[in-house]
Amino acid sequence: MVQNYKPVQPIWCPGCGDFGVLAAVKRAAAGLSIPTHEFVLVGGIGCSGSIHNFMEVNGIHALHGRLLAQAVGVKLANPSLTVVAAGGDGDGYAIGMGHFIHAFKKNVSILYIVMNNETYGLTKGQASPTSEIGFEGNVESPFMSILTALSIPAPNFIARAFSGDPKGMTAILTEALKFNREGRGFAFVEDLSPCVTYNDMYKLWREKVLDVSTLEGYDPTDRKAMFRLCLETTESGRIPIGVMHRPKVAGRDGLEVKLVGDGPGPVRADIGLETNRAAYQKLLAGLS
């Protein structure tokens, strides 16, 4: 083995919800026997975005809000890689919102994990897009990512997990990674990840989370039913968790499949001049 990058100790506060995500990602990846050199973790900016520093995998630390665009680029360039983008709620739902919405639409087979703590922890506790009204003087309505995700008619995998339920989270991430690796498209998992320093919600969230699969009428292939179920659950004061959407038909709908198919893709294509000379000459000879 070549002497290589060594993961460092997490910078997170003891008890941070992000530890749960790190552990679940490791377990899910190990469970699926994904080779570490084919695993790419794209980190955003904020406490959660440093997750790639703590694993023995390929990592790229993106700009604030831009991790999805970079992750999409990685996957489309080399579809044989397993690509996970991970960041916080500010990264994904504030500065990165444009890319967030478009990620569903693009449906590239990558997994996006948003560690939602409803605050900007690293900059010391300001309100975030998901903060409740009243938190740190917040007067804006909180953003509800699952409802937004369900509103985009694309064959995505959509789920919400809770750091206080590591087993449930591992199951969800495992399904999401399998979904990606089968080329089925974009997987979005929001994890409720309490910030023990600025917004410690462990106790409250543990009381409020509700596994939607236990509810009557639960059908994750029915977008309309799930939207209603999630909205009603939220309005009743509970927090819906579980798998919110998976496409009815298990097709290889990932954008990388549509663009590259079973071809090598941009990275593994032979770009040598000699290999391509005849085709290049034909292309140039076609000009008039």
Partner 1 sequence: MSPAAAQIAPLPEQSGSGSPRPPLELNDVSVMIGGQGGDGTLTVSDLLGRYFRKKGLYVYTSRNVLSRIRGGHADASIRASQDPIAAVKSQVDVLVAFDNEAVEMGKTELASHGFIIYDSTTFHIAEPHSAGFPFATMVGGPLGQPIFKNTAAYGALSVLFGLDPAQTRAVIEERFKRRGGEALDKNLKALEIGRKAALAMPGVENRYSIASGDAHNMILTTGNQAVALGFVVGGGRFFAGYPITPATEILENVQRYLPAFGGVVRQAEDELAAINMIIGASYAGARVMTSTSGPGLALMTEGMSHAGTAEIPVVIADCQRVGPSTGQPTRHEQSDLSHLANLGHGEFPRFILAPADPVDCFDLTVDALNLAERWRLPVILLLDQALSQNTATSPRFDLSKVRVDRGKRLTPEAAAKLAQYKVYEFSSDGVSPYAPPGTPGLWAEVTGNEHDEWGHVSVNPSNRLHMMKKRMEKLVHARSELPPCRFYGPPSAKIGLIGFGSTSGPILEAQRLLEHRGTPTRYLQARTVFPVPVHEIDPFLKEVDVAYVIEHNYTGQFARLLRETMPWHHAKLRSILKYDGLTFRAPQIVAEVKGVA
> What are the Cα distances from residue 48, in Å, to 5, 13, 87, 206, 257?
20, 11, 5, 21, 30
Shortest reach from residue 269's CB to partner 1, in Å: 4
CA–CA separation, 77 vs 266, rounded Å? 5
Shortest reach from residue 57's CB to partner 1, in Å: 6
CA–CA separation, 103 vs 117, rounded Å? 21
Q: How many CB atoms lie within 10 A of CB 141?
A: 10
**Beta strand ranges found along 111-259 (DSSP E):** 111-116, 119-120, 126-127, 157-162, 187-192, 209-211, 239-245
CA–CA separation, 114 vs 87, rounded Å? 5
Shortest reach from residue 222's CB to partner 1, in Å: 28
Query: Does 38 help bind partner 1 (rule: CB under 8 A)?
Result: yes
For partner 1, the binding residue among 8, 124, 134, 153 (CB under 8 A) is 8
Q: Give SS3 for 17.
A: coil
Query: Does 73 help bind partner 1 (rule: CB under 8 A)?
Result: yes
| Count of residues that interact with partner 1, criterion CB under 8 A | 62
Residue range at the interface with partner 1 (CB under 8 A); choices 51-59, 150-158, 165-173, 234-242: 51-59
Residue range at the interface with partner 1 (CB under 8 A); choices 68-76, 143-151, 161-169, 221-229: 68-76
Query: Does 52 help bind partner 1 (rule: CB under 8 A)?
Result: yes
Q: How many CB atoms lie within 10 A of CB 235?
A: 8
> What are the Cα distances from residue 110, in Å, to 21, 51, 133?
16, 16, 32
CA–CA separation, 140 vs 45, rounded Å? 23
Shortest reach from residue 181's CB to partner 1, in Å: 14
Residues within window 239-268 making contact with partner 1, judged by CB under 8 A: 259-260, 263-267
Looking at the Cβ atoms of 250 and 283, the one nearer to partner 1 is 283
User: What's the one-letter identity of residue 240?
Assistant: P
Per-residue contact string for residues 199-228; x = within reach of partner 1 by CB under 8 A: ------------------------------
Residue range at the interface with partner 1 (CB under 8 A); choices 12-20, 22-30, 48-56, 207-215: 48-56
For partner 1, the binding residue among 78, 116, 170, 180 (CB under 8 A) is 78
Query: Does 3 help bind partner 1 (rule: CB under 8 A)?
Result: yes
Residue range at the interface with partner 1 (CB under 8 A); choices 3-11, 180-188, 190-198, 209-217: 3-11
Which of 263, 122, 119, 88 shows the shortest CA–CA distance to 190?
88
Cα torsion 233, 236, 241, 244 to 10°: value is 20
Instruction: Tell me if 55 sits within 8 A of 35, measured CB to CB.
Output: no
Residues within window 83-112 making contact with partner 1, judged by CB under 8 A: 98-99, 101-102
The binding site for partner 1 (CB under 8 A) comprises 1-6, 8, 35-38, 40, 42, 50, 52-53, 56-63, 65-66, 69-78, 80-81, 98-99, 101-102, 259-260, 263-267, 269, 271-273, 276-277, 279-281, 283-284, 287-288
